[in-house]
Amino acid sequence: MDGVVLEGSSAVNESALTGESIPVDKEAGSQVSAATLNQSGFLKCEATRVGEDTTLSQIIQMVSDAAATKAPIAKIADKVSGVFVPAVIAIAIVTILLWLAAGQGIGFALARGISVLVISCPCALGLATPVAIMVGNGMGAKNGIMFKTAVSLEETGKMQIVALDKTGTITSGEPKVTDVIANGVSEQELLEMAYALERKSEHPLAKAIIGLAKERGMAYEDKGGAPSGLEVTDFQAVAGNGLRGMQKGDLLTGGNLSFISAGAEVSEEMKQRAIRLSEEGKTPLFFGKNGRLMGIIAVADVIKEDSPKAVEELKNMGIHVVMLTGDNERTARAIGEQAGVDEVIAGVLPDGKEQVIRSLSQKGRTAMVGDGINDAPALTRADMGIAIGAGTDIAIDAANVVLMKSRLSDVPAAIRLSRATLRNIHENLFWAFFYNVIGIPLAAGVWYPLFGWKLNPMFGAAAMSLSSFCVVTNALRLNLFRMYDGSRDKKRKNKAVNQNSSFENKFEKQQKQEETKMTKTMKIEGMMCGHCEASVKKCLEALTEVEEAQVSHEAGTAVVTLNADVLDEVLKKTVEALDYQVTGIQ
């Protein structure tokens, strides 16, 4: 169920829905959703949406709807075979009739017709596609790249646009310490003090500091508990702000800038350094002791080591690389710049990702790479969904390709392997047709009047077997293909790139328009029926600042979309003028 917080404060991990690893602080009036985890404090919530109405259920429904609209891709060989076989039978019959009409005996005419049938047996044509697909799939499986269907192996290499989820795909998905900035003390002292305070916290950012302390051998747990005098007492977590506790009579504090500034002076230099860290997509944590700032420790969801190289390889292959994320614009831009992507689209919710992929697909063939529940609708909507193996089950189920090693470098490798497999299929089809172009006229006796050449049906059977042998051997050459070698990548002209720039501008404009809008949820008592809903809706939408009002007498709410700021008192008086009672506005 989804709901609203009535009492308490805590940090909630919403990564299952939004994909972002940094938890979100919740307090009275905050919205909470199904599939999210309360990680620290106590929350008393009121259910507002249950069952099929929840955000999670809507995501699952979107996956189902998108899957139902995908059209199957017909195989080239299937189309050709439908014409080839009847055509060969017709050629054999015509051959027999022509030789009989030319005065040849029935034995000669039948031998020519049978030779045509035998030498043109569509074995090579039938083997051209499935054998190459089998070898390509085997190569992928050996390297941890699982193509679910033959179609996914054929189509992956045709992608013109690759959209990458940020958290867990480009980045590791777990916060880590990136910078330790001491202020008048050593880094060791700052980290020891931060560890002593944060080891009592359950916050994911605290786990990043604890992890670094353990790497540097500071963990008390490894030494049989905290040494005497280093244990923090009177520990208190102030949700959404920070931590405080006593150590050997000293007051230790840690948290955001506003929390620390209340009890310690933060110099302008340190504030500027914190701003620069924030601009780089990092979260600065301030630590103080007895009212004195000890330093800053920055924590961030760092990008994977192979991400920049993988993005560069995709771009070298002529693919337009887009990063999609539900994170804020500043953090997204910082990560996108480090990864080297062509385009960044930030602040996108699960249904927003699906809409973006739908729009991108209109510009060119689009692949989506993701790992979370929030990516599932986009994975299903994309022309090719690629799931990170360490991701959620629903993402893996929604995707066409699964990267078992969870490495972004496997994305260009998968595209490279697909292109090589498709190229191999085309070679096989060429040789199958080339063989028939030469063999059928010879078997039909076209050259008999000129050179006296005729083909014995037994030699025709041998030649047919040889053609199948050549096709299978050519397909087996794929085992020698080096799928991680990007030195031979051929950059394809991508018509989608210029089109995408216009789409980016359009999307950014839409994002800015949406940011200027604001919604407020009004709690209203006294509405009993649809007529009450209509009355409240009409009076609210009569206000020039209100663009739309969605009213429900069952939930007792009115969700108001504003195009300009308006005082809560104005909204309240407008509704209460109809003899309804407004109990709260969020």
CB 414 within 8 A of CB 140: yes
Q: Could you tell me the pLDDT band of residue 67, with boundaries at 50, 70 and 90?
A: very low
CB 9 within 8 A of CB 27: yes
Which of 165, 371, 375, 410 is the catalytic position? Answer: 165
Provide Rg for the chain, Cα atoms: 33
pTM: 0.64
Q: Kindly report, residue by residue over 388-400, the tens digit of the pLDDT.
A: 876 667 777 778 8
More reliable by pLDDT, 449 or 187: 187
Could you confirm whether 165 is annotated as catalytic?
A: yes
565-581 mean pLDDT = 81
Q: Kindly report, residue by residue over 330-357, the tens digit of the pLDDT.
A: 778 888 888 999 999 887 876 688 888 9
Q: Could you tell me the pLDDT band of residue 414, with boundaries at 50, 70 and 90?
A: very high
Q: Could you tell me the pLDDT band of residue 503, with boundaries at 50, 70 and 90?
A: very low
Q: Kindly report, residue by residue over 201-251, the tens digit of the pLDDT.
A: 877 788 888 888 888 877 665 555 555 557 888 888 776 678 888 888 888
Q: Has residue 47 got a pLDDT over 90?
A: yes
Q: Kindly report, residue by residue over 138-160, the tens digit of the pLDDT.
A: 888 888 888 887 788 888 888 99
Task: Give the list of residues 6+ apart from residue 389 with CB closer than 8 angstroms, or none.
Answer: 144, 396, 402, 403, 404, 405, 406
Q: Has residue 446 got a pLDDT over 90?
A: no
Number of C-beta neighbours around residue 101 at 10 A: 9
Mean pLDDT of the residues in the chain: 80
Distances (CA, A) of 309 to 108, 306, 339, 341: 66, 6, 8, 11
CB 27 within 8 A of CB 239: yes
Q: Has residue 18 got a pLDDT over 70?
A: no
Q: Retrieve residue 360's tokens.
A: 């991108």
Task: Give the list of residues 6+ apart from residue 402 with CB closer than 8 angstroms, or none.
Answer: 145, 146, 148, 386, 387, 389, 396
Q: Kindly report, residue by residue over 128-141, the tens digit of the pLDDT.
A: 778 888 888 888 88
Q: Kindly report, residue by residue over 273-303, the tens digit of the pLDDT.
A: 888 888 787 888 999 988 889 999 998 888 8
Residues in the chain: 586
Burial 1-36 (b: 16+ CB within 10 A, else e): bbbbbeeebbbbbbbbbbbbbbbbbbeeebebbbbb
